[in-house]
Structure 1
Amino acid sequence: MPRSIRTVAPALLALMLAGPAQAAEPAWTYRPEAMRPFWEGEVMEGESVLFVKDGGQDTATASVLMPIRKILAVRNAAGDVTYEEGRDYAWAPGSREITLPAGSRIVASRPEDLRRPPGSQPYRLTHRDGGDEIMFGGKLEYHALQTIVTYEHDADAWDGPRPPFDPAALPRSVAKLEKGEPLSIVVLGDSISTGCNASGWADGAPFQPAYHDLLRLHLRERFGSDVRLANLSVGGMDTAWALTMIDKVVEAEPDIVIVAFGMNDSAGRPAAEYRDNIARVMSGVREGRPDAEFILVATMIGNPDWVALRQELFPAYRDALAGLRAPGVALADLTSIWSRFLALKRDRELTGNGVNHPNDFGHRVYAQTIAAALSPPR
């Protein structure tokens, strides 16, 4: 193992090892609009923002991904408070910015609220500017600060990547779904894939499931198939650990394997080694399960302000996975989507824990992007 991983990774891996909360009685129900790809249509469903008063100003602002044509709803992240235009927020048609007037009931933070003194948290989350640490959110801390916006926009407003559907990429799995036949999925990944910081995982309203369960529900509802999903993911793990799980994957008899690593590897594993590990996982699974197909997930980008993450490795890993595409192997490119997100918004608006997990909106984007490899646009 390279020295950079041995010296940097322990804190990174420890951060991933927190187990999920006890499952609560779910209040969340499947709605097709929640799984409509955000890049399609003219409505953005439940985009997360976090209002901040920058530069000592009393006015808080936040930006959405696309120019607003009409705001349909603004709610707290739990979904149980709906805010009023004029009283709680203001916006201008064609703008991406939403502003909170004086007296707004919407939660607003200051930049210093999202930082902590060095050594005051369980994990070292040193900010890249060398000052205080990034605030860590173990469960619902960022969720409580975020606001959810549903709005109309022009049909061509999204100028970022649009995940394609290629029926030739995963022919066996796509055929099973189209025929309504049972489909067996195995997920092998890190803490993102265990479901960390989805509100359901954290036992908080609106109790939205993590991306893997969203995917299962979506495929079952759309195709009527009996979709079975075995999640073998473990927090803190990387592609080296994935090699030890090949027999477990085969035992689950998957039709399709979702392989989702990169966040923990990004402490320093070279892209060539990352690629080789993923290739060996696929080769090993196919020795015991010759017809298995794969969706390789290029991970979301971790907080650019956290020094433990080598940002240049995220696109390098994505490119390495792209080179493994072949019949029976598809790429779900969250890296490129997140790169565009971070050009338009701040990490604090997309994160579940402050550094390397998605929030509810991010888990939906994960599920939508992976589903795009299996289901054609409507």
Structure 2
Amino acid sequence: MFDQVKVNLLLVSIMGLVLAVPGGSRAQEAARTEWVGSEELLRPFWLGEVMEGESVLFIKDEKSGEARASVLFPIRKMIAVRSSTGEVQFEEGRDYVWKEGSREIVVPPGSRISTSTPESLRRPAKSQRHQLTHRDGNGEIYFGGELEYHKLQTIVSYAHEPGLWKAPTPRFDPGALPTTLERLRKQEPLKIVVLGDSISTGCNASGWAGGKPFQPAYPELVSRSLHARYKGRVDIVNLSVSGMDSAWGLTMVDKVVEAAPDLLILAFGMNDSSGRPAQDFQDKIAAAIKGVREKRPEVEVVLVATMVGNRDWVRLNQDLFPQYRDALAKLCGPGVALADVTSIWSEILRLKKDWDQTGNGVNHPNDFGHRVYAQVISSLLIPVD
């Protein structure tokens, strides 16, 4: 099995899926910078009547000079349009216009809001350190290793009618993760171990990249959500490594056991999607769960069905994402629950564009996307009030 693992990791590197940039001193500096996030930002976006901090990227029409982007819900009232750093609040009428009941926001010529063109989001073939061939064969998708897409995106907060989200959402089930829920309710310390790929390491969250507003990645956001709700201590041990897949995850069983988790978050699938069959993916995740539980039978598990990667990147097998989700669902039972990011991300892509919520252009979430991850996972343990 060891030789096969090496082969799989080599394939991942060849396929260009190891897209992380080492954090180094930048990550240490970011850790010393506090994110000032509101409780509203951690509330599941599909609940209520206010969307807080949705990201968009405005695409400019060269003929008219106007740029457009769409949000998820028809806007009833605009609350604020800000730069991605949160430092600049744009002025309605001057910087943007919108119509009540529409999902579209228009940026007129002369606006201070950042705009892009489809051409600017491409690069010539083999001109980047990662080969990200566009599905139409016309060059490569523009890769952003740190804050490149973050700087191009804009943050929108608005009011909308309730009950508009129709895609599947996580359901709080007190019987799904009963031991974890009991610890939270009793305010006993909870240790969460996260094992995943570059998404789980935090890639392209602004805090990971050392830029404003310094938002942490989803594992810390989950910890914050649970602490805010239950007031107990929640510790995160993150064993994730960029570029890894489910085969590597299986080799990490002893490390997971050594960390002594109460709750294990397993989050693979993006790097597997270069071609691993769904049954093989399921077998490896099942074996990892079994291996951990043989030595730590009381551990509970959240299986994360990954976000959907950019559909214009030829090296991702799009058919595998829903297959992986369904494979993970079959592993659920007492003490094992599914955090279905795949279904939610797919619906977002039905309504918007990948560039609206990507962190790197192809397979990482931005700040909004990391919050979606955290909202989906936290919803398994926090009931709707």
Contact 2:12/2:243, CA 8 A, preserved across alignment: no
CA distance in 1, matches of 2:181, 2:8: 41
Corresponding residue for 1:10? 14
Contact 1:187/1:230, CA 8 A, preserved across alignment: yes
Identity of aligned residues (%): 61
TM-score (norm 1): 0.97
SS of the residue corresponding to residue 330 of structure 1 reads: strand
Cα distance change of structure 1 residues 30 and 85 upon mapping to structure 2, 3 Å threshold: closer
Corresponding residue for 2:188? 181
User: Does residue 352 in structure 1 map to residue 359 in structure 2?
Assistant: yes
User: Does residue 293 in structure 1 map to residue 300 in structure 2?
Assistant: yes
Corresponding residue for 1:275? 282
Contact 2:8/2:247, CA 8 A, preserved across alignment: no
CA distance in 2, matches of 1:258, 1:309: 23
Which structure 1 segments of 5+ residues have no match? Answer: none
CA distance in 2, matches of 1:339, 1:30: 26
Corresponding residue for 2:174? 167
Match of 1:370 among 373, 377, 383: 377
- How big is each residue's C-alpha offset from its partner over 1:299-323, in whole Å with a ceiling of 9 and x where there is no partner? 0000000011000000000000011
Q: Which amino acid aligns with 2:379?
A: A
Corresponding residue for 1:256? 263
Which structure 2 segments of 5+ residues have no match? Answer: none
- How big is each residue's C-alpha offset from its partner over 1:153-209, in whole Å with a ceiling of 9 and x where there is no partner? 001122222211111100000111111111110000000000000000000000000
Contact 1:4/1:268, CA 8 A, preserved across alignment: no
Match of 2:151 among 140, 144, 147: 144
CA distance in 2, matches of 1:187, 1:234: 10
CA distance in 1, matches of 2:16, 2:22: 12
CA distance in 2, matches of 1:127, 1:56: 25
C-alpha RMSD of the superposition: 1.6
CA distance in 2, matches of 1:219, 1:6: 37
Contact 1:73/1:149, CA 8 A, preserved across alignment: yes
CA distance in 2, matches of 1:204, 1:18: 15
CA distance in 2, matches of 1:351, 1:319: 24
CA distance in 2, matches of 1:94, 1:207: 33
CA distance in 1, matches of 2:15, 2:274: 10
Corresponding residue for 1:112? 119
Q: Which moved more, 1:269-278 or 1:173-182?
A: 173-182
Number of residue-to-residue matches in the alignment:
378
CA distance in 2, matches of 1:190, 1:14: 9
Cα distance change of structure 1 residues 6 and 26 upon mapping to structure 2, 3 Å threshold: closer
Corresponding residue for 1:62? 69
Contact 1:12/1:236, CA 8 A, preserved across alignment: no
Contact 1:69/1:153, CA 8 A, preserved across alignment: yes
Corresponding residue for 2:128? 121
CA distance in 2, matches of 1:343, 1:318: 18
Corresponding residue for 1:245? 252
Quote the offset at 1:241 in angstroms. 0.2
Contact 2:20/2:145, CA 8 A, preserved across alignment: no
User: Does residue 78 in structure 1 map to residue 82 in structure 2?
Assistant: no
CA distance in 1, matches of 2:378, 2:159: 23
Match of 2:109 among 93, 102, 109: 102
Quote the offset at 1:80 in angstroms. 0.1
Quote the offset at 1:119 in angstroms. 1.1
CA distance in 2, matches of 1:4, 1:174: 36
Contact 2:21/2:146, CA 8 A, preserved across alignment: no
